[in-house]
Structure 1
């Protein structure tokens, strides 16, 4: 029996081949901290998904090369651009081309956008 393929699985497959960076180490440290403080597996998966999607966006925009691979190089302008990306319609959001019957490319709700903001 093959494991179920989810949008997150497809996304993680797309992230393979991208060299590691300090973002990943810090994300993992923060998730370990959250785990140690008793957050549920569902919450940890949600945080991991959102943070890795942010990292994908950061690299896709070219900031990984331009600004560097450390979060300390983030600017307010970059954060604003991420929010704009979340607010705009993208049928291939996160680099995943979604079939018409799939909800991956749908617009994000204001609550989802706020959730990304809190997580990131």
Structure 2
């Protein structure tokens, strides 16, 4: 049975997949592993991690622990798995992981 805990995947205010303010989240079924905060595309009606534009939305984080045990790195390794129903933010503000800095005036991609 899942243990509900909204702060379980929280490394502070800006944790990946945290939805902020007004938003619209739709539910989709994952057809592959999808990390929290990753861009999502729909392929054959199911969600996959986006590899190029257009992006359908951004994967929200899990609100519960999905393991039968608990190790320190479980939270960092967790993601949505094939067949799971996940929330996909299609309108609003969400935190996402970044891999490099962007200077003022430069275009950024997720």
Instruction: Give the TM bin, normalised by the shorter chain.
Output: under 0.3
* Bigger share in strand: 2
TM-score normalised by the chain length of structure 2? 0.24
* Bigger share in helix: 1
Which protein has greater RCO, CA pairs closer than 8 Å, 6+ apart?
Answer: 2
TM-score normalised by the chain length of structure 1? 0.23
